């Protein structure tokens, strides 16, 4: 049996999948998105790199070897998402794997979060994942196979150590969305799981926290270091594997021991 990306044929529970090759990563221009994209390319996938930042996407794509294609759209705009996925499907076929990763951080707690910030965080972090998943699901159903991985956060369970109210709430919604989609789609051969990271080495840590805050966080993490983006990508690699097909509706913690449950 070959891996899902390993072409040309695989068989699970009597279902034959031929040429499973197309993955889409949202938030692909960011640190996590870049690590996931590199992993997928190494595994033999064609990767649709989705982001709202055209320049960053083009610059990153130019540095990568393999079948990688930038797609610029706003995940918080349902119409844009639908049009983009339709275009991708017409050109390359249905998306087999969706890594729903686009998101933004806010560290503002309730009293310093105004209505516009609340709506922006929810629209991008939660609504965007719903719109994108909804758009790719029909193609996955037609194939009878698919993998959706949603990026949640430790903040969904902790209420936010340094993260703000809107961000923590949006990620709680992502976890619930994961459960709902997993229950709905299991019978169609589609698994839906989430990854709940904490303090990956991204600008959210290196730029949006002060040095004092970083040291305070490190003191709380039992492994005494921040998470590497490649470690996140490794969890994605595990979840998209054919032999992970019995795992759905799971939120995998990636937090260095900050929270056990």
Q: What is the pLDDT of residues 107-152, one digit of tens each?
A: 899 999 999 999 999 999 999 999 999 999 999 999 999 999 999 9
- CA-nearest of 248, 241, 246 to 1 is 241
131 classed as catalytic: no
**Residue 175 in this model has a pLDDT that exceeds 90:** yes
**Residue 4 in this model has a pLDDT that exceeds 70:** no
Q: What architecture is domain 17-252?
A: 3-Layer(aba) Sandwich (3.40)
- Cβ-contact 60, 254 below 8 angstroms: no
Give the pLDDT of residue 19: 54
Number of Cβ atoms within 10 Å of the Cβ of 60: 21
The single residue of 131, 145, 167, 232 carrying the catalytic annotation is: 167
> In whole numbers, what is the pLDDT of the chain averaged over residues?
90
Give the span between the Cα atoms of 251 and 146, in whole angstroms.
Answer: 17
CA 104 centroid distance within chain: 12
Q: Which helix (DSSP H) or strand (DSSP E) does residue 251 occupy?
A: strand 251-254
The three-point CA angle 155-159-164 to 5° equals: 75
| Every domain of the chain and the residues it spans | 17-252
**Residue 207 in this model has a pLDDT that exceeds 90:** no
Residue 9: pLDDT band by 50, 70, 90 thresholds?
very low
**Residue 216 in this model has a pLDDT that exceeds 90:** no
């Amino acid at each position: 049996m070959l891996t899902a990306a390993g072409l040309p044929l695989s068989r699970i529970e009597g279902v034959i999948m031929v040429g499973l090759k197309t993955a889409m990563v949202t938030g692909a221009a960011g640190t996590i998105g870049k690590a996931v994209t590199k992993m997928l390319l190494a595994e033999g996938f064609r990767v649709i790199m989705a982001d709202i930042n055209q320049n960053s996407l083009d610059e990153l794509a130019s540095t990568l070897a393999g079948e990688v294609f930038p797609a610029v759209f706003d995940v918080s705009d349902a119409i844009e998402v639908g049009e983009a996925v339709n275009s991708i499907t017409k050109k390359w076929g249905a998306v087999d794997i969706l890594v729903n990763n686009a998101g933004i951080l806010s560290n503002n707690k309730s009293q310093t979060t105004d209505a516009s910030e609340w709506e922006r965080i929810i629209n991008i972090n939660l609504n965007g994942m719903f719109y994108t998943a909804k758009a790719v699901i029909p193609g996955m159903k037609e194939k009878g196979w698919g993998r959706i991985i949603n990026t949640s956060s430790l903040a969904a369970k902790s209420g936010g150590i340094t993260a703000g109210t809107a961000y923590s709430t949006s990620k709680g919604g992502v976890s619930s969305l994961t459960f709902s989609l997993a229950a709905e789609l299991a019978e169609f051969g589609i698994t839906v799981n989430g990854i709940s990271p904490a303090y990956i080495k991204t600008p959210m840590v290196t730029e949006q926290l002060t040095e004092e805050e970083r040291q305070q966080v490190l003191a709380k993490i039992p492994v005494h270091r921040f998470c590497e983006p490649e470690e996140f990508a490794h969890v994605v690699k595990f979840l998209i594997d054919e032999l992970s097909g019995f795992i759905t509706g799971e939120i995998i913690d990636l937090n260095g021991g900050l929270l056990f449950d």
